[in-house]
Structure 1
Amino acid sequence: MYAHSENERSLWDKWNAGGGPQYPRDEVVRFFFRRFKDENNRKKTRALDLGCGGGVHTVFLAQSGFETMACDISPEGVKKTEQRLAREKDKSLRADAFVASIEEIDLPSASLDAILSVGVFECTLPGVVEIAMPKIADLLRPGGAGFFIFASDKDYRVGSAQNPYVRRGFTESDVRSIFTASFAELDINRIIRTEQNQSIELNEWMVTATK
């Protein structure tokens, strides 16, 4: 276990206890429905929600027919994910949820078809994503894909004293350096949205990385 893990778990237990997103991101829905169009094949498609938080995307994956796994550094987040699944009307929904940080996932190589991570990388300590990415890529089968959304260096949350959970933003150079060595194909895009009468700007990377 990394030395920082216990402190990190406490921090993210506190965040997860306070709530979290209630609906899946539109970008996530589009990616999975476009990439995996055949509903019959989804039951044989294993997808991991990496840094699942309260489980809103985990539930979406399970509802959409994927063989779903989910992990988070926070035991509270994993518990909320399981509770969210249990509240669904469809009692057959299942997800294998477990506690793990992004650099400590204990799964076999080439065991996943898709990895999803939303709003996680910007919340890590320096160097963690760089350490984790080769391991994340190793989990994917050939042709498998990761879909990642995370803050750029231009996002208003980066460096804000009001948001201690966002530790870093990524430049385009960072993104290419982190992903290029581990994936055969990259599709790198930005999501830019203003809020509060255009006074703040949400500026995120949206990366599809194919093994």
Structure 2
Amino acid sequence: MQKNKIGGLEKIVLIIVFVLMVIGIIAAWVDKTWFLESYVEEDGFIEDLTLVPLAILTLTSLILLVKYARKKNIWFFLTYFFIALGSFFVLGEEISWGQRIFKFQTSEYFREHNTQDEENIHNLIVDGEKLNKIIFTDVLIAGVAIYLIVIPRLYNKKPGFKNFIDKAAFPVARLYQIIGCLLVFGLSFLTFDSKGAELLEFGSSTMFMLIVLNPLNKEARA
């Protein structure tokens, strides 16, 4: 596959992502109640869809570890181990580690410190501030900027850096994937509502799935 050629399945996924985001934006303008209480509510349509790319990321990374880890190196192992671990962690957080499925009671600690009265970490309050904001607003934005802008640029400009990235088979985003991620980020703010973050989570998780499934350096992990 050419470096920036979009495959048929990717086109379908991209269309689905942006159609659903546009529906969310229009709904937020036209019918705010439906947007908040149906489209992006907790355990609603968009949040449930977010679980799909997270599950695929976890499964894909585990398959790659089983298939190639013994043939590769420690950097390859660490790359896909942490992708699998990170994806599984976010997936677990999204369902409050099974609480939303099995309906078990919230423990005392989480009742006192969790803003949603659930068994998850990202809604904890730390020193008066929501952990979700610290991680996903401050740390994650910086990390995403490095991943989407700095790493691809260094990969294309620095042979030594490229060799290391390929050695680890660390997935590098293609140009259209970078553009897609930036569009997802920008569109999520057009709802003019904090619940637009649900669209951002769905869109960014799906875009990262596409990057891992079809990175610029896909041949490096073969």
Q: Work out which structure has the larger RCO, using CA pairs closer than 8 Å and 6 or more positions apart in sequence.
A: 2
Q: Which has the higher Rg, Structure 1 or Structure 2? A: 2
Task: Tell me which interval the TM-score lies in, with the shorter structure as reference length.
Answer: under 0.3
Q: What's the TM-score once normalised by structure 2's chain length?
A: 0.25
Higher helix share: 2
